Amino acid sequence: MDLTGKQKRHLRGLGHALSSTVAVGKEGMTESVLRKARLELEHHELIKVKVGDGCLEPAADVGAWLATELDAGVAQVIGHTVLLYKRRKRDPIIVLPKAEKVEKVAKPAKPPAPVEE
């Protein structure tokens, strides 16, 4: 799931007050972590995942793995904490800002450099 910058900013604001609901320990990325994250995302839509000091994988890798496996979006990775979002199929509670189309603006042509003789 791709999130725009505006959507990530909105989710970071919502996630600021959240506590970690999923913890990744020294075992690393396991099936039980995946099950717990899936369950929490179905219930809350937005969760924090705490990557413990004993985990050998960096938080960014854990977040990318969870996002890929759960079809979720990574809103933020800061320190040992990952903020994940996945919209519920029924009765979503978080309304994301619309993704705006960004039109490319042509750069003005540079004037030719003066030729010195």
Domains of the chain: 5-85 (3.30.110.60)
Burial class (CB in 10 A: 0-12, 13-18, 19+), 110: exposed
pLDDT computed for residue 65 by the predictor: 95
pTM of the full structure: 0.80
Burial class (CB in 10 A: 0-12, 13-18, 19+), 5: exposed
pLDDT computed for residue 1 by the predictor: 82
pLDDT computed for residue 115 by the predictor: 77
From first to last of its 117 residues, the chain has per-residue pLDDT tens of 889 999 999 999 999 999 999 999 999 999 999 999 999 999 999 999 999 999 999 999 999 999 999 999 999 999 999 999 999 988 989 999 887 665 666 666 677 777 776
